[in-house]
Each structure stands twice: as C-alpha cells, then as structure tokens.
Chains A and B, each alone.
Chain A
Amino acid sequence: MAEQTDCAVKTLRDVPIGATARVVKLVGEGQVKRHIMDMGITKGVDVTVRKVAPLGDPLEVTVRGYELSLRKSEAENVLVA
C-alpha cells in the first residue's frame, strides 16, 4: 500500500496513450497479481498502451506481441519506469 500513496511512483495507469513503458515491479498480491503476471506483464517487459475503452475504462495494451485489456484499477498494480 505504501507504494500507492507515494506520488513519485508511476504506474501503468499513468502511461499516456500511445506510449511505451518498461515494467519495474508488480504490487498487490494473490490471484490478481498472479493473473497479471501469467498474461506476460512481468518485470522488465515493455508495455505499450493502445487505447482506453469508449466509456473511459478498461485499457488496451500491447504486451509480448498481443493485445490485452485490463482495468485502470488493475493497471495501478503495475509499477513502470
């Protein structure tokens, strides 16, 4: 939780559309974290944010050569540089 209150930490949610960021760390725990990792978002991988859904959430990103959608709340668990 400490990471989330720290404003200096950038998460996947803050990456502007069209930009690419490298994953530094995953926070959170349990099923959601494991699921994010299973889908290929792991430390050191490049993630490109493609777009936001018409109603403003979820996001669409490209990771490891395929398209993945995840909610903004879930994107907050992914710390990026």
Chain B
Amino acid sequence: MALSIALAGNPNCGKTTMFNDLTGANQYVGNWPGVTVEKKEGKYKADKDVIITDLPGVYSLSPYSPEEIVTRDYLLSGTPDAVINLVDGTSLERNLYLTSQILELGVPVVVALNMMDLVEKRGDKIDVDALSKQLGCPVVPTTALRGKGLDDLMSTAIAQAKAGKAPKPSMKFDAAVEDALSQIEAIVGSAVPANEKRWFAIKLFEGESLTEQALKLPADSMDKVASIREAMEGKLDDDAESIVTGERYDAIAHVVDRCVKKAPATMTTTQKIDRVVTNRILGLPIFIVIMTLVYYISVSTVGTIATDWANDGLFGDGWLYTGTEQYDEAVEEFEAALETAEGVAAFEAGTLEEPDPAEFGLWHPGVPVVVEEWLTSVDCAPWLQSLLLDGIIAGVGAVLGFVPQLIILFLLLSFLEGCGYMARVAFIMDRVFRRFGLSGKSFIPMLISSGCGVPGVMATKTIENEKDRRMTVMTTTMIPCGAKLPIIALVFGALAGEFYEGTWWVAPLFYFLGLFAIIISCIMLKKTRAFAGEATPFIMELPQYHLPTAKNVLLATWERVKAYIVKAGTIIFLSSIVIWFLLNFGMYEGAFGLLDTEADDYIQYSLMAGTGSFLSWIFMPLGFGNWEAVATTVTGLVAKENVVATVGIITSLGEVGEDDPTIWASFATLMGGSSVAIMAFCAFNLLCAPCFAAIGAIRNQMRSAKWTWATIGYLCGFAWVVALLIYQLGGLATGEVGFSFWTVVAVVLLALMLFQIFRPTPDFQKKDQKKAAKLESAGEAKANA
C-alpha cells in the first residue's frame, strides 16, 4: 500500500529544497480545494510507493490564514501516515512552536533538524538525543541544501509511518493550565480519538469557534468549558489564547535550555548584510539599483530581444542572425527605389525584387511562413489557411511570444525570492503601499507592468496574502504597458497635429492617469465586502540571506512558465478563433461568407463591423459611439498593438505607423474631430481589460473563473466611467459637449466614486449581524402571526 508523508514547517526553513531533492522531477502542482493555496505532491525518488505532500509554510496552526487552515485540516484528516516537520536549527525556538502544535495531532512525527551546517558554523551545539526525548519523536539532523541526512530521514519517516505511533512529548504547561486542560479532556470524553484529545482540549480552552463548530458538543459541556476558561483567565489576568501561546513558548524555552549549548552571540552574516542593504540611508538607493536592473534585464534589454525574437522571428516572418546591417541597407535602397516612377515600373516588370533576408546571413523563417508554404503546397482551402495563420498561429503566437521574457523575469524573481531580498523589498516599500491597502510586495508587479502586463501579473505570485494578491492582479494592468504606448502616440498625434510642442503633456498625463487609477481603485476596492477587513498585518520574518541553489531557481521558473503556457494557451486559443471569425466573415453583396481580406474596405462588411454597431450604444455617451471605434477597441483585446493597426485598416490606410501624420488626421476624423472624445477613447483603451495574454495571466493567478470575470468587469466598468467623466464633464468645460442626461449620469457617478473614496470603511461584520437579527425578528413575527 502507498504511504503518504506530509512535509510541514515554517516558511524559509528549506522545505522547498528538501521537497525538490526528495521527489526530483515527479511533482504535481495543484490547488488545495476551495482556496488559492498551492498544493504540491510528488513521489519519493527512491521508493515510488511513497507520496510526499508539501504543505504550505506556516508559523502556527491557528485558524486565521487559508494556509494554516489547509495545513491543520490536512494533518487532522487522517490522510498522512506520518509528518516530517522541518525545523530550522538556527532559529530553533520559533520553529519548535509549530512543532509543539503538530505533536498534539496524533499523527506520527519525525523532526528534521535542518540547516545543521549553519548551526555548526555558528558554534552552537544541539543535543539531538535529548531533543528527541523531550519532543517524544525521532529527530534526524539534515542539511537539505547539500542533500545531507535525507536517506536517514526518509527511512525513519517510513518506519514511523508503518508503526503508526503517535509522539509522546514531555513538554508540559504550567500545572494550573495542565489541570484545566485535563478537566476539559474529561468533558470531551470519547467524542474525539484518544491521541487527538490534547489538541481538541487546547482548542476548546482557547475558545476557537472553528473547533467548537466541528465538535458540536452539547450546550452544558460547552458551558462547563467556558467556566473553566473564565476561571483561568481571571487567575492569570490574560485571555486563553495568550495563555496557551505563552505556555507553549515557555515550554519550548525550557527544552532549548536543556538541549542547546549556544555559542556567545556575535553578529550573524545576515545582520551584517542588512546593516547595508536595509540601511536608513543606503537602503533606498540600493533598492532602486536592484529594481532598475531587474526592469532593464527582464523588460528592456534581454527581455525585449527575446520577445522580439519570439514574436518577429519564431511567430513572424523570420529572424536574421548575421548580416542584419547589409540587409537593412538593401531594404532602404529598395524602398527608395519604389519612391520613384522607374522603380515602381521595374518592380512591376519583375526586374527589381525585394531583398531576400536569407541571402544576407544566417536566417530562419518564422513558423507562419513555414506553415503557409506547407499549406499552400497541400492545396489547403484559403479560409482554413487564414484561420490557421491569421487566427490561431497569430493569436497563440502573440501569447507564446512572451514566454522567453517570462523565463528571464522569473529567473530573476526566483533568485531574489530565494536569497531573501524579496522580504526586504516589502520592508522598504511597505510605507508607500499600505496607504492604499496593499503591502510593499505589490511594488514589483506594478514596476514590471509598465513594461508588460503579462509578467507583471505573474509576478504577483510572490505576494502571500490572498486579498493583497487579488487586488494587485486586478489593478496592475492599468499601468500603460509597452504595447499601449503606440495608442498614446496616436492620440498625442491626433490631438497635437502640427502643434505637438504645445501638447507635450499628453503622454505623461496618461502615465499619471494609470497610476492614479490604481490608487483610487485600491482605495475603493478596499471598502468593498470582498476586500474589507483588518489591514493586512505586516508582521513578517526577515529570513536569513543565502544563495539559492540553481535547481530551486530553475524549478520555480519552470513551474510558473508552464502554468502560464497551459492556462493562458487554452483561453487564447479559443478567443483567437472567435476574433478571427468576427473579422473575416460577414455579409458581402447579399451573401454570408468569408470576406476577401485583400479588398480595401472588407472590414466594413465583417461581423466585427456588425458587432461594433451592435455595441456602439455602450460607447455613445463616451463620444465614440461608431462601429469603427468599437471594433478598434475589441481588436485591442487580442493585443493592444492591434488598436493602431485596426485604425489603419478601417481608414483604408493599410499598414501605417502610429507616428504617421496621415493616420493622425484620419483618426481625428474618425473621432468626429472632438479632442475630448479622443481623450476618452484613449483613457478607455488604456484602462479597460488588458490583452488576451494578460487576461490569461490573470486567470492563472486568480485560479478562479469568478475572480477573472470580476477583474475584467471591474477594469471595463472603471474605464467606462473614467471615459464618461472625461467626455461629458471635460466636454462641458471646453464647450464641445452640451448638457444632457449623460452629464447628470457623469456627475452622479463622480459623486458615487468620491463617496466610496472618502467614506469610512463600512463594518461588514456588524451589517451581517444586523441582517441576521432582522431576519430572525421577521421570522418571529411570521411565527407569531
């Protein structure tokens, strides 16, 4: 029969390293049911019949975080045959606090005393046998980083699992508390298995509602427990929870006194590094340098090269590795020739040819080119060819194109996380972010998002708190990313025209709009039921610095990138087909069918135009209620780069860039020449749902369809309101838009937003109680009638 062994311990105690070592590549990553906490399982390398479950890193088994609840529920469920409790030998007291709780659960336990090399280096001496006697379970010294002691640990754990012996710790609380606990154990009687009695007695003494509900003891028993608790609380002048926590730590201090000979305290390496890295004066400059490096490597330099290669090379025309200069020169010459009448004639006659990149150096064609050649060679139907190339390969390719960049980003982030700097980032930035309800760890996703929203959303992975993570995912794509810059440039050009010197403020304005949107969104969301609650406490361990192993960094990177490819891939695949269908099918000359995309104005007949007209009433109050603008916005969902391209197609200008004056003029005409409508269009496109790739990343991070839709809904709704305010109120101010029904709507919405921003956070608990009371009294009234 297969044995199940759980791996439990504090965060940063080397659990991931040990899990990776024990299971090798046999890992399955999933979710614990009902929560977004990651569940990792793997088969033991040396014995495939042993399944190892990596529990979330927790400091305690209290019922306050999803991680803690998942851990205790799993340990109490009876599934694991034994628990390996990983303990960091360099911080024994705090680590044994969790151990003291695990020992009460009645499951066989083996304590792995980890980081023994660091303990020895410090000159501390731990008496392993004495510790084992005190804890009442086997203790095996290990050094997970070097794979030391793991065989010994596993054989002990397997033996314990087979024997099924519960630990018998000799750690005792104060006599009075012990007396109270044994009274409660007597009250509980046979309601719980004998070896879990102490755990339940302690939980009942603490008055933990989760356990009280689970046990469903008769009311008189509960009253007895309550009176025991009150007596103790009065006697010790403290609440029961504090009494138990204090007693645990006191008992542990006692054990540590007996088993550990500490070397005289000197400054640790971590303290020495932190003297510089989180220094009051040097801390910020060092932080800025590190963040700039992360940004430049993952977004600007290496990341862009990798993404360009993937987008233009692998999923584009192809990629030229050498001889690019000569090729560029040849292209310039060719284009210059085309400007002249003789050149055009020569080109049409076939004597002048476009330069072939393959002749200039090492060249490989892109996937679409190869597939196109192959499809043409097998005589594939044009519509299928178009679906495969323009729909699926273009759409999925746009998403997979981000993979190289993601790999680079995650290598860097996994390294920063593994070495312990991520906790310092939170430490340094906390002051800024908690003002609008987030913690310092939200900084990294937002920084990365200014380059690209996909890695930005994926970077939220390092935020442990579920609410913080969700809120960061929801808002981080409001920062203008690289692909949104052309939209800003287009709008800037359309507004400024010839007088661009006078309107230099437009581009920075939209950056500030993004930042401002995030801040007010956070403030507003924080006051909704889903995000309300106590400010996330910032009581966080600053772990010791250490060099992460290459294996851990690579595995962490692979895990995240793989998750993105799988989850994002499926959504994008379907969405690409839908958008392709909308763009390429339509009614032309009375018949429904595939449109001729070579024709200049084919898009007018497409389903997309129909969809645009159908949806245009939504955008009417925003000043751009024509199908062209709507279709542009919809194609922006596939990739924001498409917005400019679609404007080009719709205005029959073909492939023109966003910096071309002709597209500025036709775009301005498209918007009816209204500058507030142009601003509103830009604001909507910058703030609404991001591209499919980013939506895929959001789905991946939220791990819930409901939250993904909530995010898309919020982003679109918020963007709509902001665009409405700009058009209606801005237009009223400049005299472009008259007073109408929508002006009133805009004012009301603005007032509602201000109300949500400035009102105090409502007390949802109280509201719930009131509601319950009302329902009860209503029920009573009914019963009386």
Give the interface of A toward B (CB within 8 A). 25-26, 29-40, 42-45, 50-58, 60, 64-71, 74
Contacts and interface: CB of A to CB of B under 8 A. Distances in A.
Please provide the 10 A-B residue pairs with the shortest distance between their CB atoms, ordered closest to farther. Answer: A55-B431, A38-B60, A54-B283, A67-B542, A37-B245, A64-B93, A66-B91, A42-B246, A31-B64, A70-B539
B94 interface: yes
Contacts of B278: 51, 53-54, 60
Interface string B58-101: 01101010000000000000000000000000111110010000
B118 to A, nearest CB: 12
A71 B432 CA distance: 12
Contacts of B239: 29
A38 B163 CA distance: 32
Contacts of B432: 55
A40 B249 contact: yes
Nearest to A23: B246
A35 B64 contact: yes
Contacts of A38: 59-60, 62, 97, 245
5 contacts: A40-B93, A42-B246, A53-B427, A64-B249, A67-B541
A55 B97 CA distance: 32
Contacts of B245: 34, 37-38, 42
A39 B91 CA distance: 12
B431 A36 contact: no
B516 to A, nearest CB: 21
Nearest to A52: B280
Contacts of B541: 39, 66-69
B1 interface: no
B538 A53 contact: no
B201 to A, nearest CB: 19
B94 A39 contact: yes
A14 to B, nearest CB: 18
Contacts of A35: 62, 64, 537, 539
A6 to B, nearest CB: 17
Interface in B245-268: 245-246, 249-250
Given A36-B539, A42-B242, A42-B245, A67 B270 contact: yes
B238 interface: yes
Nearest to A41: B539
A65 B126 CA distance: 15
A54 B284 contact: yes
A70 to B, nearest CB: 5
A31 B533 CA distance: 11
B428 A54 contact: yes
A43 B542 contact: no
Contacts of A58: 427, 430-431, 538
Interface string B86-126: 00001111100100000000000000000000000000000
A26 B428 CA distance: 26
Contacts of A36: 537, 539
Nearest to A67: B542
Among B242, B271, B274, B539, which residue has the most Cβ atoms of chain A within 10 A?
Answer: B539
Given A42-B245, A57-B431, A32 B534 contact: yes
B434 A37 contact: no
B538 A70 contact: yes
A65 B256 CA distance: 12
Interface of A, secondary structure class, is mixed
A35 B97 CA distance: 13
Interface in B528-548: 534, 537-542, 544
Interface in B725-784: none
A34 to B, nearest CB: 5
A46 to B, nearest CB: 11
B312 interface: no
A49 to B, nearest CB: 13
B78 to A, nearest CB: 25
Contacts of B429: 55
A61 B785 CA distance: 63
B540 A37 contact: no
A24 to B, nearest CB: 11
Contacts of B271: 50, 67
B230 interface: no
B537 A42 contact: no
B94 A40 contact: yes
B281 interface: yes
Given A40-B97, A42-B245, A34 B542 contact: no
B221 interface: no
Contacts of B274: 50, 60, 67
Given A52-B280, A60-B427, A69-B541, 8 more contacts: A31-B537, A44-B250, A53-B278, A55-B430, A60-B274, A68-B542, A69-B423, A71-B538
B538 to A, nearest CB: 5
A43 B540 contact: no
A47 B541 CA distance: 14
Contacts of B538: 58, 69-71, 74
A20 to B, nearest CB: 12
A73 B447 CA distance: 27
Contacts of A52: 280
B376 interface: no
A26 B243 CA distance: 11
Nearest to B88: A66
A65 B434 CA distance: 28
A53 B282 CA distance: 11
B97 A34 contact: no
A19 B271 CA distance: 16
Given A30-B534, A57-B431, A68 B93 contact: no
A68 B534 contact: no
B279 interface: yes
Contact of A26 (B62, B242, B287, B427): B242
Among A29, A45, A58, which residue has the most Cβ atoms of chain B within 10 A?
Answer: A58
A52 B249 CA distance: 27
B241 interface: yes
A29 to B, nearest CB: 8
A62 to B, nearest CB: 8
A43 B238 contact: yes
A50 B94 CA distance: 18
Contacts of B539: 32, 35-36, 39, 68-70, 74
A18 to B, nearest CB: 12
Nearest to A64: B93
Contacts of A50: 271, 274
A17 B533 CA distance: 31
A26 B94 CA distance: 18
Nearest to B59: A38
A74 B537 contact: yes
Contacts of B90: 65-66
Interface in B517-566: 534, 537-542, 544
Interface in B36-69: 59-60, 62, 64
Among A30, A44, A45, A54, which residue has the most Cβ atoms of chain B within 10 A?
Answer: A54
B365 to A, nearest CB: 52
A34 B94 contact: no
A37 B242 contact: yes
Contacts of A55: 284, 428-432
Nearest to B282: A54
A31 B242 contact: no
